[in-house]
Amino acid sequence: MSFPAIHLSGITKSYSHLAEKKNGDDIPDIEVLKGITLDIGQGEFIALQGTSGSGKSTLLHIIGLLDRPTAGVYEVLGQDTSILDDDRQSDLRNQSLGFIFQSFYLIPYATALENVILPGLYSGKPRSELQARAEFLLEQVGLSDRLDFKPSRLSGGQQQRVAMARALLNEPDIILADEPTGQLDSSTSSEIIKLFHVVHEMGRTIVLVTHDEEVASAADRIIKLHDGLIAEDILKG
């Protein structure tokens, strides 16, 4: 396929403060992303690295179709996202993108298996098929003996493994992760990073957001964000 996984051109994001007026004066909009132009090829493993406040999460939310840019072009898998209404954006999000967050976001009263099945419930696939895939994925992340455990009985690292399995349920082309090791100690963190390599070898495109240079060094390409702009784009040899 000739198109990149992700194509961004001149992406900006501003936040207005219409509700907040100071002494009757307008507070100017804050431009958080100042013109991001970037192609990420299919099958790449990239890290988006920068200090806190540099705009990483804002950019990942736009890439993840959780938010729209103020200006610029965003194409995912060759599809121009600006012409999609919210419903078609969420279809694309559910089919093509898998999310992993710092805080895992597992459903506390559901088992590991139920949590992994969850994103498949709207796909129309039979429950038996979803369950078989969820069991397979939980085995891949090393949790085949924890299928019936609720999140409160799992360690942080195990909870993040469940979240990784969940992100893979719908066989997305692209995995987006925002500080996935942010709540984990360093040895658990390296285990999770190893799993990202496994997921990458399965053929997924990975965008890993982190403030941590060591975590970023796991990727094949490191894009450094500084104050809403790309400061460096380093392809490791």
Q: Is 55 in the site for ligand ADP (CB under 6 A)?
A: yes
Residue 20 per-residue DSSP state: -
Which stretch, 28-36, 39-47, 51-59, 185-193, contacts Mg ion (CB under 5 A)? 51-59
Q: Is 56 in the site for ligand ADP (CB under 6 A)?
A: yes
Angle formed at CA 90 by CA 148 and CA 71, multiple of 5 degrees: 135
Binding residue for ligand ADP (CB under 6 A) from 9, 27, 53, 231?
53
For residues 74 and 129, give the distance between their C-alpha atoms in angstroms, rounded to a whole number: 33
CB of 72 to ligand ADP, least distance (A): 16
CB of 237 to ligand ADP, least distance (A): 27
Residue 230, token pair as written in the block: 């790309």
Which stretch, 45-53, 71-79, 191-199, 213-221, contacts ligand ADP (CB under 6 A)? 45-53
For residues 113 and 226, give the distance between their C-alpha atoms in angstroms, rounded to a whole number: 39
Binding residue for ligand ADP (CB under 6 A) from 50, 151, 157, 172?
50
Q: Is 146 in the site for ligand ADP (CB under 6 A)?
A: no
Binding residue for Mg ion (CB under 5 A) from 57, 158, 181, 210?
57
Residue 126, token pair as written in the block: 């039979």
Q: Is 102 in the site for ligand ADP (CB under 6 A)?
A: no
Burial (CB count within 10 angstroms: exposed 0-12, middle 13-18, buried 19+), residue 160: buried
Q: CB of 173 within 8 A of CB of 42? A: yes
Binding residues (CB under 6 A) for ligand ADP: these are 15, 30, 32, 50, 52-58
Binding residues (CB under 5 A) for Mg ion: these are 56-57
